[in-house]
Amino acid sequence: MSKPTFQIVTTDDRVYTEGASEEFTFDDLGGDEPCLESYEHDGDYLQLHYSGGYRQLLPEHRIKYIAYLDQD
């Protein structure tokens, strides 16, 4: 994967970086550790999209900031 284009930091200082695997595993679901690919705002949540079709919802009030590299 190329250089990450975004990073999400929560109020409890957890960091979600594009292309990075999440700390938890999906062994119980029968898959590999997926990599973060993108995100979108979904109502009161930020929906994180991972490889393999996995999704994770973060409450919007827990987002400290989102830093991204504008590639235009």
How much is the pLDDT for 24?
Answer: 57
How much is the pLDDT for 16?
Answer: 94
How much is the pLDDT for 72?
Answer: 63
Each residue of 15-63: pLDDT tens digit?
Answer: 999 998 875 555 656 667 789 999 999 999 999 999 888 899 999 999 9
Q: Is pLDDT above 90 for 9?
A: yes
| Whole-prediction pTM | 0.81
Measure the CA–CA gap between 13 and 9, rounded to whole angstroms. 6
Instruction: At 32, give phi and psi (nearest 5°).
Output: -80, 175
Ordered by start, the domain boundaries in the chain are 6-68
Measure the CA–CA gap between 58 and 40, rounded to whole angstroms. 11
